[in-house]
Every structure is written in C-alpha cells, then in structure tokens.
Structure 1
Amino acid sequence: MKKIMQWGIGILGVAAAVGIGYIGMGLISDAHSTDKVTTNAKQQASSEQQTNKPKQQKTIFQQIAGRDFWFTSGAGGWRTVMTINEDGTFSGKFTDSDMGDSGTDYPKGSMKISEFTGRLDNVQKVSATAYTMTVSQLDYNPANVTTIVDGVREITAEPYGIGLNDAITIYLPGQEVDRNDATYRMWLGTGGPYGDTTAFIQNEKFTLPTLFDTTQHYAWIVYPASQV
C-alpha cells in the first residue's frame, strides 16, 4: 500500500512537473511572440515614417546640370559655351575666330580664346520658374598671351558673356517671355544660335532653360534643343 501511494505521488509529481514545463514553455513562447510583434510594429512605424517623408526637391543647379548654355548672336565666328554643375560651379570656353587675320607663322588665321571656371552663389527663388544668383568666383588665364597652335594664332582673352559679381537670373521652361525686355530683343529676339525663336518658345513661354546676365544684359540659352 505504501509503494502504491509512493507511485501515485511520483506520477502526480511527474505530471505536475510536465505541466509546469508546458506552462513555462508557453510563457517563453508568448514572450518571444510579444517581442516579435513589438519589433514588427517598430519596423512598420519606421517604414510608415519613410513613406510619409516628403521627397526633397531638386535645386536649380540639379535641374540644369550638365546642359550646355550658349551665348552667341548666331552670326560671326564667336561663341561662349558654359556648363553648370550640381554644386553651382561652372566651366566654359569663349572662342572668336578670324581666319582672315593670318600671317607667315599662322596661315590658318587667329582666334581669341578664354577657358574659365567659376561659381554661382546667393541663390534666391523668385518663382516656380525663376531664380536669381550672383557670380561669386571667376577664374581664367591672363589676357593677351599669344601662342601658335597648328597654324592658328591663339590669343587669350577675358570670358565674354559673364563677369565676376554679375547678377544672374535663370528661367526654367514654363517661364513667360517678356518680349519688351531689351536683353531678350538683342540676344534672343532673332533666335540666337537657333536662328528661329520657335525652337525654344511656344505659347509665349520658354521651352528651354534660359540664363540672363542682368548686369551686362546678355542672354544664354540651352543648345542644342536635344539636351532638354
């Protein structure tokens, strides 16, 4: 009888131990489940924050970076081409050819040339399609240095179309054209490098980015149109 009672007590002990074990495992499982839910909730909240975060708009320089701005009258052998980078720095080259100005050492004529770099700063957004800024830096080689390259006399010059501390306005496509503006009439009214204003103006709005040096009253426009 004593042995039976001991067996009974032993069986009850095992059952209790097993039950407690199951309960413990359940608690552990629940704890892990709670951790997972908490972790997933945090991830979901982080994901929602990233989704709801507004997209950063491009700067004016990022919108026009890599495009060639031309300053030329469309007549004669001169032009200045400038490219603006995403950080507001720029580089360009002015050339003015005169094949009739030749000599024994330079039978192919003469050319004024200026390679330059610089930076645009003090950017102000005037409207959705207009930004103002200034030329804060402009670097180029000293003028009037002559060398002969492949039969052409090259004479260094100052950049033409842009100057240090000049005030600049850049218009994006969609900007309304002011045909009464003297700068427009002088440099863009006859089509500039295009020869025809319909190539960059439609419905009295610019279809290409346009740069105005309002200090010297010069106008530049993206060329060729395929860069749009």
Structure 2
Amino acid sequence: MITKRLVFTLLIGTLAFTGCSQTKHESTNSLDEPSEVLENTDVQDSGEEEFNFSYECLNTTEFWFGSGAGAWRTTLRIKNDGSFYGEYSDTDAGSISSEAPNGTKYYCAFNGQLGTLEKIDNLTYKTTINSISYENPKDTDEIVDGIHYFYTEPYGLENAGDIYFYLPGKNVNTIDSDEYSWIGKDFYDAPYDTEGWYLPFVVLANSNMHYAFHGYDFVQQTIDACEYYNNDSGLSEEQLYLMWDQYLNEIWVNLHDIKDSTFMNSLKEKELDWISERDSKLEKKDYMAAYSMTKERALLLLDYLIEYSNNNAYPIPLQEDTSDAPHTAINQSSNEHTATIDETPISDNRLSVGDEYVLKSTINIRMQPDSSSDKLAIAYKDEIITIKSEDLNGWTEIEYDGSIGYVRSELLQ
C-alpha cells in the first residue's frame, strides 16, 4: 500500500531550457567532433530582461515525485509542445507467491498532453492535463518473469485539476504547506543557494491533491554521474563491462530525448557497427576489451551531452519574489519555520588570481585557450580549481590537480 512520506532524493542538477526569451548559441560542431563544456548555472540578475516561461524551458528537466532512493517514485518529462511522458513504479519484494517468486510491482507507463500555459505571476504558471493515456489498462495485472505486475494510474497525477509550475525564487510561504512537504528536503542540493527562503528549483504541483514534483536537470545528472562510474576499482572485468554498458545506455536514452531524429539516425548507423564489434568481443568472453571499448564509447557520447548542454541549455533565472508573504527561513534538517527577514542581496561574485572556485558543473579543461585544443582533463561538479590568471579573450588560466589548463571564462561567472 502506498502511503505519503517526505521526499528525500539524491537526484540533483541545474534547471535548463531552450527558447526561453534569451539568445541561443547554435552548435557548429560535426557529429564526429563533440566539443566544449557545460554552461555554468550561477544566479542571474533578474533585472537584465523579462523572463518568459514556456514548455521549452523544461527540455532537460525531469520531474520527480517519490519517497526516496530505491522506493516508489513517479517521473515525468515534458516536451516543447507540452506533451509529456513518464512512469510510476513501486516494488514490494516481500509480496511473493508460487507464481510470482520475484515479488510484486505496481507500475504505470503513461503519456499525455498539457494545455496552454497561463501566467499567474512572474513565478507561477498554471495549466491543465488535457489528456493522459496508459501503456497498460488500469486495474489489470499479469505475471512476467516471476514478477506480479499490477497496472495502476500514476501516483501524483491522479485527480489532477489545475497543474501549477513554481519557478526558482518563489517564496516558500506562498506555497501550500502540503505541497511543500514533498519537496522541502530537496533544498540541500539544488542549483541555487536560497538559504531556505525561496524555491531553488522548478516545481510541478497537482493542486487538487496537494502533491508537488521536484524538477532536476537529467542531462546534468548524467554528466555528473561520470565521476561515479570512473570509480571502478576492485571490480572484475565482466563487472566493469556491465557497469559501463549501463552508463552507455543511460547516455543513449537521454540523447534520444533531446537530439533530433537526423542526429540520432546518423549516430545509430555508427552505433550498430560498434555493437557488432563489441558483441564479437563478448562471444570470446574478452571482457577487458569489451569494457575498454564500452567506456570509450560512453565518454564519446557523453561529450555530445556536454556539447548540447553548453550550446542549447540555459538556466531558469533565480527571480525576485515581490509577494507580500513574509520571508521565512526553513530549517532544512527539521523542516521547521523560523520567522527571519531576508535582507541578504544576491551578490555578484567576481574571481581574482589565487581564488579557489568550487565547480557548479562538470567541465572540460583544455591544454590551450582554444575550443579545438586537446583536453587536459574533465573536472567534476564540486571539485576545486585555482584561478591562475584573469580573463584573456574569453579564457581563464586555472590549476587543477597540479596541472595548468584553460577554462572558458563564462563558466566561472
């Protein structure tokens, strides 16, 4: 039975978009030459220009509603035209029978169409679910591979009336307290440090049921996961292959979601040749060779994700909430409210020679101040670099892991 619990999630990332009333840089790289680095996500000055939210702003965002890692969850992605798709799953490994010795799973794969967005204020937009359909008929069941599947509706979207989007910067005291209870625990690791006063990410809320989905950047999450997969010591050759094969599949799925059919069809032709060569290694049980070529392939495709994020994705800006609600800080460990007036302005952090900088995303470090230069290293989110020289023609000299390299200056703003 599903019961409501506070959200605790390790899903992280910055929020990104295309076509959201800001200039978009077009990629000039060929399919064979993925290039640069991930766009940084520092807080933007809300006074620069008016921000217009649209479904295109969510092209790399996945909405997540659940009880925590490894438990039940509903995930949802929205396309530029407002169509959406996702899945709900909940596993009960202890509920077994002679016909289903591998447990019970509640599941729903779904897709649908959202209506036109209505602007309520700069930080709040409203829409409706115009239609929704399920891959398997609701309230049916079957046994597959020893698992008893019960097909349901997606938890979190049931009885949906108005659907609201809350943007980064929205005062938490203007949000329904039940909705807040679902996403408050996600504040600890978010694209913006709002000290608990304002939302640090985009939220999707089912107002009828008082449910709220936390939005995170699935492209950035996949890029950041590379650090985890690189930590592969102590594994057998077969385990190494299986681990990197999993990561390769994750990257492929996300590329399929964000790239056009022309790109993917061209990539697929090369992928089929690669698969044939890999399978020949597996037939010979040459797991080291299969692991090496799978890791190499995964890192190549990962560069396409980095390139896409750099050239096409921009953060939803952290805007100022001008509502009359009190600015009440949230104690993130206890979820309690303490009345404290927020008088801290958003500062413009400028870097000087000798400063240490904590990376907000995964980036490429180049040997020379040029995008065509060889890569010195990949530096991961939350790692520290040291500034060695100020901006020179769009590049900054930095020190990383004892080596000197160059990073595009715009990523350190």
| Equivalent in 188, 203, 208 of residue 198 of structure 1 | 188
CA shift for structure 1 position 71: 0.8
Name whichever structure is richer in helix by fraction. Answer: 1
TM normalised by structure 1 equals 0.66
Q: Is residue 203 of structure 2 the alignment partner of residue 210 of structure 1?
A: yes
Q: Provide the C-alpha distance between the structure 2 equivalents of 1:58 and 1:188, rounded to a whole number of angstroms.
A: 24
Q: Is residue 82 of structure 2 the alignment partner of residue 95 of structure 1?
A: no
Amino acid in structure 1 at the alignment position of 2:121? S
Give the SS at the match of 1:115: strand
1:63-78 matches, within 5 Å, as 63-74=57-68, 77-78=71-72
CA shift for structure 1 position 165: 5.2
Q: Is residue 188 of structure 2 the alignment partner of residue 172 of structure 1?
A: no
CA shift for structure 1 position 175: 1.9
Tell me the equivalent position of 2:28.
none
* 8 Å contact from structure 2 (residues 105, 149) kept in 1: yes
Give the SS at the match of 1:103: coil
Give the SS at the match of 2:188: helix
* 8 Å contact from structure 1 (residues 135, 164) kept in 2: no
Give the SS at the match of 2:173: coil
Runs of 4+ in structure 1 off by over 4 angstroms are: none
Offset from partner CA, 1:105-138 (integer Å, 9 cap, x none) = 2111000101111111132112222211111111
Q: Provide the C-alpha distance between the structure 2 equivalents of 1:117 and 1:210, rounded to a whole number of angstroms.
A: 19
Cα distance, 1:125–1:180 mapped onto 2, change above 3 Å: closer
Deviates more, 1:211-220 or 1:154-163: 154-163
Amino acid in structure 2 at the alignment position of 1:198? Y
Cα distance, 1:127–1:180 mapped onto 2, change above 3 Å: closer
- Ranges in structure 1 where 5+ consecutive residues have no aligned partner: 1-54
Offset from partner CA, 1:176-207 (integer Å, 9 cap, x none) = 22277322343123x1xx4xx32236231222
Task: Provide the identity percentage.
Answer: 31
Aligned residues: 169
- Ranges in structure 2 where 5+ consecutive residues have no aligned partner: 1-48, 222-314, 316-413
Cα distance, 1:179–1:107 mapped onto 2, change above 3 Å: farther
Deviates more, 1:165-174 or 1:106-115: 165-174
Q: Provide the C-alpha distance between the structure 2 equivalents of 1:179 and 1:98, rounded to a whole number of angstroms.
A: 37
Q: How well do the aligned residues superpose, as a CA RMSD in angstroms?
A: 2.7
* 8 Å contact from structure 1 (residues 71, 220) kept in 2: yes
* 8 Å contact from structure 2 (residues 126, 165) kept in 1: yes
TM normalised by structure 2 equals 0.38
1:61-140 matches, within 5 Å, as 61-74=55-68, 77-140=71-134
Deviates more, 1:101-110 or 1:158-167: 158-167
User: Higher Cα Rg: structure 1 or 2?
Assistant: 1
Deviates more, 1:110-119 or 1:68-77: 68-77
Name whichever structure is richer in strand by fraction. Answer: 1
Cα distance, 1:130–1:113 mapped onto 2, change above 3 Å: same
Deviates more, 1:198-207 or 1:124-133: 198-207
Deviates more, 1:142-151 or 1:81-90: 142-151
Greater relative contact order (Cα < 8 A, sep 6+): 2
Offset from partner CA, 1:7-60 (integer Å, 9 cap, x none) = xxxxxxxxxxxxxxxxxxxxxxxxxxxxxxxxxxxxxxxxxxxxxxxx9x7652
Give the SS at the match of 2:181: helix
Tell me the equivalent position of 1:24.
none
* 8 Å contact from structure 1 (residues 64, 209) kept in 2: no
Tell me the equivalent position of 1:12.
none
Offset from partner CA, 1:59-102 (integer Å, 9 cap, x none) = 52011123210011327721000001110010010101100101
Amino acid in structure 1 at the alignment position of 2:208? T
Give the SS at the match of 1:178: helix
| Equivalent in 204, 215, 219 of residue 222 of structure 1 | 215
